[in-house]
Amino acid sequence: MGSSKCCEKEGLKRGPWTAEEDQKLTAYIQLHGHGSWSTLPEKAGLKRCRKSCRLRWINYLRPDIKRGKFSLQEEQTIVQLHAFLGNRWSVIAAQLPKRTDNEIKNHWNTHLKKRLIKMGIDPKTHKPRIDALGFPTRHGGIDANLSHMAQWERARLEAEARSAGVSNNKPAVPNHVQPKKSQFGCLTPRPKCLDLLRAWQGLVTGMFNFSDRDDLESPGSISNFSHRGFQVPTAGINQNAAGEGTLLPCIATNSYTCDELDDVGNWKRCEKFNQMQEFDEALQGRTCSTEDAGFVDRIYVEGNDYEVIANFMGDSPGTLVGVPASYSSMELEISNGSCSIGCMADDGSYWDPTLKFMNASSSDSSVF
DNA sequence: AATCCGATCAACCGCGAACGA
DNA sequence: TTCGTTCGCGGTTGATCGGAT
């Protein structure tokens, strides 16, 4: 486990923790909180360095962590987020409740990475791997699907590049990828990148779903993805004579109305939706559920920067609502199949997107 | 039964960022 | 602005386990 450093110089203990040490650390933190990690070991009566204590608590002893097998959903999320974020395990872990970055990192390195490699997908780029002759690697009968995968991946990278390029002063990975604590003390529901990636979730689902069972231990064909349900959060948009875009209530099945939209960068999302058309015939029984509530994408309409949010009420199809991107702190609550959204601006003012949307629709104003 | 070997995962280290003096 | 300290992240190591030989 590496050469000794901070622990050895002061005669501190290293290696596996004993039950007694765990008990001491847990008892101390439950009573006092961890406070300063540098002083904790001494106060807690542990002959361990601060790093060792912190790691033990965060990765093992903390009460709000889940251990054991990763679910299909969790694995999909990891793969999707890794495609966007790379090895930013702490950010990925923030989107997987009760999982630690260390656990996710280990799971990636020991399971997911190998599974992707087996499928002929480069785990670093998430692109189909190219052999020495420049041809995509062959793996069973999945070539056709890999080409689809490659198209999706291209779309993903293009979207990523655009989002970085549209605003030079914005980081390539937006800040809101980082989970934020809102005034209500809750984490924002999820980063937009999850939604960008949701479009190809069906492919990933195909990669990780095997026949009729959810057993993940044996890789299966990805060729059956087209027969599966494919949840697609979709956008409806209307242009008036002046060329202004107005968001419409959107039934959460595909509504590819984007062809006529401008080609100057507004409504970037639509390009992605157009690419989804080629899957149109293959996709059946598309429905959108409350799982799709939350961020959909960032759009730029009339020079304004908006977040688009799928908003679901009860069991009815969702609507899309727009929120100024400056309203960074979102609240989303799902209960009894109903989803409500509210947003807090940095100055503390509150934005009710549903209300704004309805007002805007009735007044025929631009966008909202 | 003994040994080997690959897989797994807890734990450690180095480094950069954040922060305060 | 600089410097020292602390924290947290990502990469890596090595103990352990289980299956194969």
User: What is the reported pTM?
Assistant: 0.49
Provide CB contacts within 8 A for A345, sequence distance 6+: A324, A326, A327, A328, A329, A351
pLDDT digits 0-9 by tens, A201-227? 433 344 444 333 333 333 222 222 222
The winner for highest mean pLDDT among A37-41, A140-144, A164-168 is A37-41
Question: Å from A107 (CA) to C10 (C1')?
Answer: 14
Is 50 exceeded by the pLDDT of residue A81? Answer: yes
- A203-206: long-range contacts, CB 8 A cutoff, minimum separation 24: A203/A145, A203/A148, A203/A149, A203/A152, A204/A76, A204/A79, A204/A80, A205/A72, A205/A76, A205/A230, A206/A145
Q: Report pLDDT for A10.
A: 56
Average pLDDT, chain A: 50
pLDDT of residue A294: 36
Nucleotide nearest to A59 (CA to C1'): B10
A106 Cβ nearer than 7 Å to chain C strand: yes
Q: Is the CB of A19 under 7 A from strand C?
A: no
| Contact, A81 CB vs strand C, < 7 Å | no
Q: Average of pLDDT values for A50-72? A: 83
Determine whether the distance from the CB of A87 to the nearest atom of strand C is below 7 Å: yes
| Residue with more model confidence, A166 or A344 | A344
Point out the residue nearest to C12 (C-alpha to C1'). A2
Q: Given this model, what pLDDT does residue A84 score?
A: 74
Residues in reach of strand B, judged by a CB distance below 7 angstroms, are A 1-8, 13-17, 48-49, 51-52, 55-56, 59-60, 67, 102-103, 105-107, 109-111, 114
CA–C1' gap, A368 and C10, in angstroms: 43
Which residue is closest to B13 in terms of CA–C1' distance? A2
Report pLDDT for A275. 28
Check whether residue A88 has its CB closer than 7 Å to nucleic acid strand C.
yes
pLDDT over threshold 50, residue A93: yes
- If one compares A294 and A22, the residue with the highest pLDDT of the two is A22
Distance in angstroms, CA of A294 to C1' of C12?
37
- Confidence tier at A5 by pLDDT (50, 70, 90): low
* Residue whose C-alpha is closest to residue A85's, from A194, A206, A208, A204: A194
Cβ atoms of A110 and A122 closer than 8 Å: no
Residue A91 has pLDDT above 70, yes or no: yes
Interval A305-327: pLDDT, tens: 444 443 333 333 333 344 444 44
